C-alpha cells in the first residue's frame, strides 16, 4: 500500500504521474494513473542512440525538480531509470512507477562547530532493491541508505542520456557490481552524433550533436556519482539546493522549470490521445492476462446475478401474496417489475457491497523492463 500512499501525495506535481483512482480484486490491486503517451526516455534513447547535452540537461532539470519534491516529503524513490521517465505529448518528463518508493522518517541534523551531521537513525532504510545498472554503492554494500541514492541514480541516468549506456555497464551483473564499487569512472573521448527521433526539435534548447561530453557535465556527473554518500553532491541539509546550484545547471530558473515555461528540446510525434507509436511494441502488443480480464469481472457478475436472483424470488413472493396486473408480461415477455432486480444489483455495486475485498495486497514487486527487484533475503528492520 505504500505505493498508493505516495501516489496520493504526489498527484499534483507536474513531473510525477498521478493516481486517479485505485481498485482491487481478490488477489490484485490496480492503479488508474495519468495517461502519458509520449514514450519512455529509454524508448527514445534506443531510437536516437544518445541525446545532445542541452537536451539531457533539460530532462535532468525536470527530474531534479521531481526528486526535490519527493525528498521534501521524506520519500526515497529508489528506482530512477530511463524506463521510468516518460515524456508527455508536449515533451516534458513524467516519472512513473512508485513500486519501490519508500517513506522514510525526516533526517535529524546536529551541529559540530560549523559542520552539520545527520543522525544515523533519521531518514534511512535498508532494503536491497532497485535496478542493477543504477544501484548506488551503499545499496550494493548492504548499508543503510537515504535520499542520496536517488541523486546517484540521477547521475547514472544523465551519463546514459549522454553516452547511450549506464556508467560501469556490463552484461554480467556481478562484473558490473564490481565496477560500480571499484572502477574509476570514465568518459568516452568521442561520441557519435545523436540520430533523429520521431518528433520535432527545438534548436534553441538543442539536441545539438557534440563530439564529447562537456567539462561541466563531467564535473556534475563525477560529483553526483561519488561512492561515499556523505561526500556526494546532493547530500546534506542543503543537498538539493547544491544540486540545483551546480554550474551544469547555470542559467536555469527553477520556478520556470516547475511551471513548464521552458520549451522542451524535443516534442514526440503524437497525433492523438490514441496514438501509441511512441510506446515500445513489446508492451503495446502484450496481451492482457486472462486472469486480469476475468478476475474481478467474474465475481462482480456472479454477485450481481445472485442479487438479481434474490430480487426475483422476492418479486415472486409479492406476486403470490398480491395477485394483480403487475403480473402482466411486457412486450419482451418479462414482468414489468423486472427492473427491481437490476436496480438492487446496481445499488449493491454502487454502495461497494459487490466486490468488497480484503485490504491484503500481495508483496510481488513490479518486474517492469529494467528488472527492478527487492531482495528476499536481506535483513531489514522495517517493512519496506
- State the total domains in the chain: 2
Measured from the Cβ of residue 159, the count of other Cβ atoms closer than 10 Å reads 26
Final residue of a structural domain among 280, 304, 324: 280
Predicted local confidence at residue 87, as pLDDT = 97
The mean of the pLDDT values for the chain is 77
Judge if 296 and 275 occupy the same domain: no
Is the distance from CB of 19 to CB of 8 less than 8 angstroms? yes
> For the residues 306-326, what does the mean pLDDT come to?
54
At residue 115 the predicted structure's pLDDT band, cuts being 50, 70 and 90, is low
The reply to whether 300 and 249 lie within a common domain is: no
- Of 79, 88, 97, 150, the catalytic one is 79
**Which of 115, 65, 108 lies closest to 258 in space, CA to CA?**
65
Residue 285 belongs to a domain: no
361 domain residue, yes or no: no
Residue 201 falls within a domain, yes or no?
yes
> Which of 55, 59, 57 is CA-nearest to residue 195?
55
| Domain limit, last residue, from 280, 311, 327 | 280
Same domain (yes/no): 182, 265: yes
Domain boundary, last residue among 255, 280, 305: 280
Nearest Cα to 20, choosing from 11, 3, 85? 11
Are 296 and 272 within one domain? Answer: no
**Quick one: 67 and 210 in the same domain?**
yes
* Per-residue pLDDT at 306 exceeds 90: no
97 in a structural domain = yes
Give pLDDT tens digits for 157-214: 999 999 999 999 999 999 999 999 999 999 998 888 888 877 777 654 444 455 689 9
Residues 325 and 229 reside in one and the same domain: no
Whether 163 and 306 map to the same domain: the answer is no
Of 138-142, 321-325, 359-363, least confident by mean pLDDT is 359-363
In a domain, 372, yes or no: no
With both helix axes pointing from N to C terminus, report the angle between 41-48 and 148-163 in degrees, rounded to the nearest 10: 30
The answer to whether residue 371 sits within a structural domain is no
CA dihedral 80→83→85→91, nearest 10 degrees, is: 160
pLDDT at 284: 81
**Do residues 274 and 306 share a domain?**
no
**SS3 readout for the chain:** CHHHHHHHHCCCCCCECCEEEEEECCCCEEEEECCCCCCEHHHHHHHHCCCCHHHHHHHHHHHHHHHHHHHHCCEECCCCCHHHEEECCCCCEEECCCCCCEECCCCCEEEECCEEEECCCCCCECCCEECHHHCCHHHHCCCCECCHHHHHHHHHHHHHHHHCCCCCCCCCHHHHHHHHHHCCCCCCCCCCCCCCCCEEECCCCCCCCCCCCCHHHHHHHHHHCCCCCCCCCCCCCCHHHHHHHCHHHCCCCHHHHHCCCCCCCEEECCCCCCCCCCCCHHHHCCCCCHHHHHHHHHHHHHHHHHHHHHHHHHHHHHHHHCCCHHHCECCCCCEHHHHHHHHHHHHHHHCCCCCCCCCCCCCCCCCCCCCCEECCCCCCCCCC
* Higher pLDDT among residues 24 and 62, named by residue: 62
On whether both 20 and 119 belong to a single domain, the answer is yes
Residue 81 has pLDDT above 80, yes or no: yes
Q: How many Å apart are CA 3 and CA 5, to the nearest integer? A: 5
190 lies in the same domain as 91: yes
pTM over 0.85, yes/no: no
CATH number of the domain that 104 lies in? 1.10.510.10
Q: Do residues 44 and 111 both lie within one domain?
A: yes
* Range of lowest pLDDT (55-59, 95-99, 258-262, 312-316): 312-316
In a domain, 373, yes or no: no
Instruction: For residue 45, name the pLDDT band (cuts at 50, 70, 90).
Output: very high
Q: What is the pLDDT of residue 266?
A: 94
Residues 309, 226: one domain? Answer: no
Based on the residue annotation, tell me whether 203 is a catalytic residue of this protein: no
Q: What is the pLDDT of residue 275?
A: 87
Give tens-digit pLDDT for 228-279. 999 999 998 899 999 999 999 999 999 999 999 999 999 999 988 888 888 8
Range of the domain at 321: 292-350
Report the alpha-carbon distance of residue 15 to residue 93 in Å, rounded.
Answer: 6
Residue 356 in any domain: the answer is no
Amino acid at each position: 500500500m505504500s505505493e498508493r500512499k505516495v501516489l496520493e501525495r504526489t498527484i499534483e506535481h507536474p513531473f510525477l504521474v498521478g493516481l486517479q483512482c485505485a481498485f482491487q480484486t481478490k488477489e490484485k490491486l490496480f492503479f488508474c494513473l495519468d495517461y502519458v503517451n509520449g514514450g519512455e526516455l529509454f524508448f527514445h534513447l534506443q531510437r536516437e542512440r544518445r541525446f545532445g547535452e542541452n537536451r539531457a540537461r533539460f530532462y535532468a532539470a525536470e527530474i531534479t525538480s521531481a526528486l526535490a519534491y519527493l525528498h521534501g516529503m521524506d520519500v526515497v524513490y529508489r528506482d530512477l531509470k530511463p524506463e521510468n521517465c516518460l515524456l508527455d505529448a508536449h515533451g516534458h518528463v513524467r516519472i512513473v512507477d512508485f513500486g519501490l518508493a519508500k517513506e522514510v522518517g525526516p533526517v535529524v541534523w546536529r551541529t559540530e562547530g560549523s559542520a552539520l551531521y545527520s543522525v544515523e537513525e533519521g531518514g534511512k532504510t535498508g532494503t536491497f532493491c532497485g535496478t542493477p545498472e543504477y544501484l548506488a554503492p551503499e545499496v550494493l554494500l548492504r548499508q543503510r541508505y537515504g535520499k542520496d541514492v536517488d541523486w546517484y541514480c540521477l547521475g547514472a541516468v544523465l551519463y546514459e542520456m549522454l553516452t547511450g549506456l549506464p556508467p560501469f555497464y556490463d552484461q554480467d551483473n556481478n562484473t558490473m557490481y564490481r565496477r560500480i564499487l571499484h572502477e574509476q569512472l570514465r568518459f568516452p573521448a568521442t561520441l557519435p552524433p545523436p540520430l533523429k527521433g520521431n518528433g520535432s526539435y527545438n534548436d534553441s534548447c538543442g539536441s545539438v550533436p557534440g563530439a564529447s561530453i562537456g567539462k561541466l557535465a563531467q564535473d556534475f556527473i563525477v560529483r553526483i556519482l561519488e561512492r561515499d554518500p556523505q561526500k556526494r553532491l546532493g547530500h546534506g541539509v542543503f543537498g538539493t539546493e547544491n544540486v540545483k546550484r551546480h554550474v551544469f545547471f547555470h542559467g536555469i530558473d527553477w520556478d520556470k522549470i516547475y511551471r513548464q515555461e521552458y520549451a522542451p528540446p524535443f516534442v514526440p510525434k503524437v497525433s492523438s490521445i490514441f496514438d501509441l507509436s511512441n510506446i515500445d511494441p513489446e508492451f503495446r502488443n502484450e496481451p492482457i492476462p486472462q486472469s486480469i480480464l476475468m478476475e474481478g469481472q467474474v465475481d462482480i457478475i456472479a454477485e450481481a446475478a445472485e442479487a438479481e436472483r434474490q430480487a426475483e424470488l422476492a418479486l415472486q413472493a409479492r406476486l403470490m401474496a398480491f395477485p394483480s396486473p403487475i403480473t402482466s408480461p411486457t412486450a419482451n415477455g418479462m414482468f414489468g417489475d423486472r427492473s427491481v432486480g437490476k436496480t438492487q444489483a446496481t445499488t449493491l455495486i454502487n454502495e461497494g457491497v459487490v466486490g468488497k475485498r480484503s485490504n491484503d495486497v500481495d508483496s510481488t514487486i513490479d518486474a517492469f523492463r529494467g528488472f527492478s527487484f527487492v531482495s528476499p533475503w536481506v535483513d531489514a528492520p522495517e517493512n519496506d
